[in-house]
A = this chain, B = another copy of it.
Amino acid sequence: MSRNIAIEMLNQVPVQDQQIELVERKCLGHPDSIADGIAEAVSRALCNTYIDQFGGVLHHNTDQGEIVAGESMPQFGGGKIIKPIFILLDGRATKEFKGEKIAADTVALQAAKEYLHSIVPELNLDKHLIMDCRLGTGSTDLRDVFNPEEGKIPRANDTSFGVSYAPFSDIEKCIKEISSYIDTTLRPKYPVYGQDIKIMGLRQGNSIKLTICCAMVDRYVSSLSEYINYREKLAEEALKVAKTCTDKHVEVFVNTADCDVECSLFLTVTGTSAEMGDDGSVGRGNRANGLITPHRPMSMEATSGKNPINHIGKIYNLLSNELAHTCVEKVDGIAEIQIRLLSQIGVPIDQPLIASAQIIPKPSFTMKDIEKDVFEIIDSGLENITSVTERVIRGELKTF
């Protein structure tokens, strides 16, 4: 059965060339990102538990959860946590199947704690955390089970959609690269840089301003002057990374709300503001491409924690993102592409109601040059849609 794929030209100025552009990323230790990461870790752990126990993934959705901030007293050289962080796990999971019970709650608790520990290692989970689990029960029909080896295409759980675009603009690239550079290169050397980082970028014409709010871990910084040095170092390093992503003029500001007296510094005991004052929720941070982009089409769906079998809000957002980037990489002449996949409840997920690509061609190209290849990329992506599921379960696809 042929797929309903519509490709049309988009008659507008690429975001990259508009006058103003605003982009934001909440890095892994931001409370909203922690919530997303936990939701996704719990879903993956459940998938693996179901596969181990029954050979297939059973119904669940853990795209919920709340992080309620604690209270801390950071100080140079090392402070302390006064009141623990509270985390509520919720959502639905199958807890009984074919007469056999499933330890869904214990699986969820363990996965959530392991993930949290990997992101906020300074947090002592025994004394700085209260984690509650109120995972409801969902029921799984036999026909709901997704068996990765059977290769049957699941049916869409809902009428919903996914949306994405490519390529990344300069400012988007800057933000993604800086985030990645801090995680992989800078923090291993300087553990003072906590995981709770928010990077905001504003482009006005050819001028880019990047504002980085980075939680400093107090036991790795002994004084205000050292704090200031670390702050300046981060600004310099970020600027270097940014310059590899753009020719535009870039300025970097780090922890600008600081007034150089201790009380207002972004000093933390654990490297996340969830220790003091900032709550977090699933689905309120980055979209599936790792960014918040108010000048771009976005889906409000929480991608993290949704089951990766038949939950359109997850699968179509991830797939549209992949498809858009593949089109830009593989097909010449695309200045900007937006892809929207719209599902029909109850219909196999490889058969969207409509898969729509809107393309702004590069100056010397026409839609004709582009159309056919884009069609094939989208068609083939839908053909192999269960690979999204599999890679999510293996943890190879990021949702935030």
Contact = CB atoms under 8 A, between A and B. Distances in A.
Contact of A65 (B66, B110, B204, B356): B66
A136 B277 contact: yes
Interface in A244-274: 256-257
Given A6-B20, A81-B106, A106-B127, A64 B279 contact: yes
A272 to B, nearest CB: 15
Interface in A122-141: 124-128, 130-134, 136-138
A161 B20 CA distance: 12
Interface string A105-124: 11101100110000000001
Interface in A279-324: 279, 281-285, 287, 292, 294-295, 297-300, 302
A110 B130 CA distance: 11
A264 to B, nearest CB: 11
Contacts of A90: 66, 68, 86, 279
A228 interface: no
Interface string A182-205: 000000000000000000101010
A82 interface: yes
B128 A68 contact: no
A225 interface: no
A395 interface: no
Interface in A198-242: 200, 202, 204, 211
A345 interface: yes
The interface centre, meaning the residue of A133, A136, A277, A297 with most chain B CB atoms within 10 A of its CB, is A136
24 contacts: A8-B19, A11-B13, A20-B356, A68-B136, A69-B136, A71-B136, A84-B109, A88-B88, A92-B277, A92-B279, A106-B128, A109-B127, A109-B128, A110-B126, A110-B127, A113-B126, A130-B133, A159-B211, A202-B342, A256-B345, A281-B284, A283-B283, A287-B300, A294-B297
